[in-house]
C-alpha cells in the first residue's frame, strides 16, 4: 500500500484523485502495489471540486502533509513558485519522493530541486511539467540518455497553436482567433503568458536542461510571441509551402553552446510539426543516431496531465518499494548563445511605394549587411506594393540591422512580420 498526499485539488488534482481510484486495481495487478490517495491539501475546504470526495480527505494544512510519516509519495499540483518550492523541499528532506507538474518552478529553480532530491536519495519526477500528457521527459531522461541530441523543437503551447490553426485554416485575423480561443477556454482573459511566449519559454528551458544536461532557466530563453503575426503573413508562408507555428527551440551547437529561443517559425508543410493542429502539442527531437523523433499529444487539460502525473506516481511507488530512485544527474551552467549570434533563413515582408528604383534601394540594404536573398516576390501594384523576401541563412544581428535600416528608407511604409524558416 502506497499512501499518496496530494497538494492541490484543481484542474489536475481533482481528475488525478479520480484516476487513481479508478485505476488502483489494474495498477496493483501490474505492479503489486496498491495506490491510495490518503489526503489532499487545499486552500478552501468548502469549494466544490466537481467530484465526490470521501469525508475527511481534504485538509488545509499542506505543511502537515509533507511532514506526515504515513505519507509515502507527495504530488504537488498547486503551481507557482511559493509555497510549492518550500513544500517540495520539505517533502524531499523528509525522504518522500515528489511528483510535480509545476513548469514555473522547474524552469526557475529546477536544478536546485534536483540536487535536493539527489541529496535526499529520493525521486523528483516532473513529466507533467512540459507538454502535459506527452511522455517526453521520460524519453529524454531515459530512452535518449545515450543519444547525441542536436536539437529539440516543440509546439509546447496549445493556446497559440489553436490560434495559429484558426488563422491558417480559416484565414482569421489574430484578434478574432484569440477571442474564439478565449470563448472556448483555451486562452485566459489576460493571454500574455501564452501569446507572448513566456509559457513556451519556461517549457523550453526545462527541455534544454534535460536534453543537454546543462542548467537553462526561463530567463535564458529569448522569446517572441504571435501577437504581431497577420493573416497576410500566414497566407504568404502558405503560398511558399510553409505553415506558421510557435516553436520552442533548444539546440546544442558543435561548440558546446546551447541556443534556446521561442519564436514563430515557418515549418515546411511536409514536416511532421506542420500537421499538429488545434490545441495539440508536439515535440520534435533530432539526434545524430536516432534521426528524427516526434512526440504528439495533449499538452494541457486536467485529465491528460493527471495521466502523466499518475505515470510518475507509479514510478516513484515502484522505486520506493525497491529502495531505489532514479538519478537525475548533475547540471553545469549552460553557455547559452545570444539570439544575435543565431542563424536562420528569414522571411521579411515590406510595404513599399511601387515606383522605379525601390527594389534596388531595398536590396541594397540587404547587401550592405551581408544578407543574401534566396527569393523575392512582389504583390500588388502602384501606388503601393508588398515585397516579400526569403533570405539564405543569415545571422540574426545582420537581419535585425537590415530591418532597422529598411524602416528608415523613405520608400518603405512598413516592415512586417519577421519569420524564421525551419529547415525540412
- Return the CA Rg of the chain: 24
Alpha-carbon gap, residue 268 to 113, rounded angstroms = 39
Q: Which stretch binds a second copy (CB under 8 A): 18-26, 95-103, 184-192, 354-362?
A: 18-26
3-class state of residue 205 by DSSP: helix
Pick the closest to residue 348 from 368, 374, 383 (CA basis): 374
Binding mask 186-225 toward a second copy (x if CB under 8 A, else -) reads ---------------------------x------------
Pick the closer one to a second copy by CB: 29 or 183: 29
Query: Which residue of 44, 192, 275, 414 would you call a contact of a second copy, by CB under 8 A?
Result: 275
Give dist(CA 261, CA 342) in Å, integer. Answer: 10
DSSP 110-176: HHHHHHHHHHHT--EE-GGGSSTTS-HHHIIIIITTTS-EEEEEEE--HHHHHHHHHHHHH---HHH
Does 268 help bind a second copy (rule: CB under 8 A)?
no
- Written as one string, the DSSP assignment of 347-387 is EEEEEEE-STTHHHHHHHHHHHTTPPEEEEEEES-TTEEEE
Residues with Cβ < 8 Å from 203, sequence gap 6 or more?
103, 107, 129, 130, 131, 154, 156, 157, 248
Among 17, 27, 38, 421, binds a second copy (CB under 8 A): 27
Q: Which of 96, 166, 203, 245 is catalytic?
A: 203
* Among the listed residues 6, 7, 12, 19, the single contact to a second copy using CB under 8 A: 19
For a second copy, give the closer residue by CB, 143 or 192. 143
185 near a second copy (CB under 8 A): no
State which residue, 18 or 391, has the beta carbon closest to a second copy.
18
Q: Quick check: is 322 catalytic?
A: no
Residues in 301-360 that interact with a second copy by CB under 8 A: 301, 303-304, 306-308, 310-311, 313-315, 318, 322, 324, 327, 329
Q: Which residues are tagged catalytic?
A: 203
| Footprint on this chain of a second copy (rule: CB under 8 A) | 15, 19-20, 22-23, 26-27, 29-31, 127, 133-135, 138-139, 142-148, 213, 270, 272, 274-277, 280, 282, 287, 289-298, 301, 303-304, 306-308, 310-311, 313-315, 318, 322, 324, 327, 329
Amino acid at each position: 500500500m502506497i499512501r499518496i498526499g496530494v497538494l492541490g485539488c484543481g484542474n489536475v488534482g481533482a481528475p488525478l484523485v479520480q484516476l487513481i481510484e479508478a485505476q488502483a486495481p489494474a495498477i496493483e495487478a501490474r505492479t503489486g502495489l496498491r495506490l491510495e490517495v490518503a489526503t489532499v491539501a487545499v486552500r478552501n475546504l468548502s469549494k466544490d471540486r466537481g467530484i465526490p470526495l470521501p469525508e475527511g480527505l481534504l485538509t488545509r494544512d499542506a505543511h502537515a502533509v509533507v511532514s506526515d510519516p504515513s505519507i509515502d509519495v507527495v504530488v504537488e499540483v498547486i503551481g507557482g513558485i511559493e509555497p510549492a518550492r518550500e513544500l517540495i523541499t520539505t517533502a524531499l528532506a523528509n525522504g518522500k519522493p515528489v511528483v510535480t507538474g509545476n513548469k514555473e518552478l522547474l524552469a526557475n529553480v529546477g536544478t536546485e530541486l534536483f540536487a535536493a532530491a539527489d541529496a535526499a536519495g529520493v525521486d523528483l519526477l516532473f513529466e507533467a511539467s512540459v507538454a502535459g500528457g506527452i511522455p517526453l521527459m521520460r524519453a529524454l531522461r531515459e530512452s535518449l540518455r545515450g543519444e547525441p541530441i542536436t536539437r529539440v523543437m516543440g509546439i509546447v503551447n496549445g493556446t497559440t497553436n489553436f490560434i495559429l490553426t484558426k488563422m491558417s485554416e480559416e484565414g482569421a485575423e489574430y484578434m478574432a482567433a484569440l477571442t474564439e480561443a478565449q470563448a472556448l477556454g483555451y486562452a485566459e482573459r489576460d493571454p500574455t503568458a501564452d501569446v507572448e511566449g513566456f509559457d513556451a519559454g519556461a517549457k523550453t528551458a526545462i527541455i534544454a536542461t534535460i536534453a543537454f544536461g546543462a542548467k537553462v532557466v526561463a530567463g535564458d530563453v529569448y522569446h517572441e510571441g504571435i501577437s504581431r503575426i497577420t493573416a497576410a503573413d500566414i497566407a504568404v508562408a502558405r503560398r511558399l509551402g510553409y505553415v506558421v507555428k510557435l516553436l520552442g527551440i533548444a539546440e546544442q551547437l558543435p561548440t558546446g553552446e546551447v541556443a534556446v529561443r521561442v519564436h514563430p517559425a515557418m515549418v515546411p508543410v511536409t514536416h511532421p510539426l506542420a500537421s499538429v493542429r488545434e490545441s495539440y502539442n508536439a515535440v520534435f527531437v533530432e539526434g545524430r543516431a536516432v534521426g528524427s523523433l516526434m512526440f504528439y499529444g495533449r499538452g494541457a487539460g486536467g485529465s491528460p496531465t493527471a495521466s502523466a502525473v499518475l505515470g510518475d506516481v507509479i514510478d516513484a511507488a515502484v522505486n520506493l518499494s525497491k529502495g531505489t530512485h532514479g538519478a537525475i544527474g548533475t547540471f553545469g551552467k549552460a553557455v547559452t548563445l545570444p539570439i544575435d549570434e543565431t542563424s536562420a533563413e528569414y522571411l521579411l515582408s515590406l510595404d513599399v511605394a511601387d515606383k522605379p528604383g525601390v527594389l534596388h534601394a531595398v536590396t541594397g540594404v540587404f547587401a550592405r549587411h551581408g544578407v543574401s536573398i534566396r527569393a523575392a516576390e512582389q504583390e500588388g501594384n502602384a501606388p503601393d506594393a508588398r515585397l516579400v523576401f526569403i533570405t539564405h541563412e543569415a545571422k540574426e544581428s545582420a537581419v535585425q540591422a537590415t530591418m532597422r535600416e529598411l524602416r528608415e528608407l523613405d520608400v518603405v511604409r512598413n516592415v512586417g512580420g519577421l519569420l524564421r524558416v525551419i529547415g525540412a
